[in-house]
Amino acid sequence: MDFDEIKIDRIFIANIDDPVKRALLVSVVKGLRGTGKPLVFEGVETPGQFEFACSLGPGYLVQGWYTGKPETISAMNIQG
């Protein structure tokens, strides 16, 4: 299967304060590092979730309300 990136759904990061869920997600992320594909954490909405993603090291991407509100393409002013 060919793909460009791996997205970690918000359901996995939503309860990151739970030590068991945190440990499970850390293990999953460590396993996915070997793919060489970028990992994107979706649904990052709190400082704690953002700090968790940052604590895993460089090279991870985040999406969610904590980093910015969704924008329409026209509002982004992207030149084609």
At residue 69, the pLDDT reads: 78
Q: pLDDT at position 52, please?
A: 94
Amino acid 71: pLDDT: 73
The whole-model pTM stands at 0.80
Cα–Cα distance list, 73 to 61, 77, 78, 79 (Å): 20, 7, 7, 10
Mean pLDDT, consecutive 10-residue stretches, the chain (80 aa), reads 89 93 94 90 94 90 88 67
